[in-house]
Chains A and B, each alone.
Chain A
């Protein structure tokens, strides 16, 4: 079945630093999505990518849909304490949606 490899598993950074995380897959996807999950809540969509090569920004967040359709990355610039949480990538293809294992981000003030 489809499997997404998300890295890194966790990151400990200082406030103000930039963050980068990525997902790779052996399968191609039609859509790449990036979500953030806070404790006790459901995942909330950050960025959606629909075309290979697409680069999209949402405030301090930037994400790209890899040209091969098998990978995506998410960058967060100038991190702030409220960026703490778990970030998930998701690939959508053949009507189903699969998730990476998540990147747990800790931001030290």
Chain B
């Protein structure tokens, strides 16, 4: 049972480049989330999706877009990467209002 799988695990981008972070879960969860974690800080919610076909902004959505492709997959896109987006990105999934399970993270560096 894979749980929550994120790809890639590491990525280096140049300023202005675009990329998509992929996330898939095999637990049939309704809700999925994207967070970023900066050194020494907690997790800040970027976007979330309460169900297939819906997405909502979290605390720090600027510079990001998301797609809930189907119930399993929730992708995060950076259209024009900036150094301020250097961070570790975590995807998570859950049933409604229950505990969430996290992926291993994507470590993104923008130079």
Please report A residues at the B interface, Cβ cutoff 8 Å.
1, 6, 30-31, 33, 40-45, 48, 50, 88, 90, 92-93, 95-102
Q: Evaluate contact between A100 and B42: CB separation under 8 angstroms.
A: yes
Cβ of B94 to closest chain A Cβ, rounded Å: 7
Complex: A93 Cα to B30 Cα, angstroms: 15
Taking Cβ atoms with an 8 Å cutoff, the residues of B that contact A are: 4, 31, 33, 35, 41-45, 48, 50, 56, 58-59, 90, 92, 94, 96-105
Chain A contact surface mostly: strand
CB within 8 Å for A48 and B99 given contacts A1-B59, A88-B42, A88-B43: yes
- Residues of chain A lying within 8 A (CB to CB) of residue B98: 31, 48, 50, 92
| CB-CB nearest 4 A-B residue pairs | A42-B102, A95-B50, A101-B42, A48-B99
Interchain CB contact under 8 A, A98 and B59? yes
Q: List 8 A-B contacts (CB under 8 A).
A: A1-B59, A31-B98, A33-B100, A42-B104, A48-B98, A95-B48, A98-B45, A102-B42
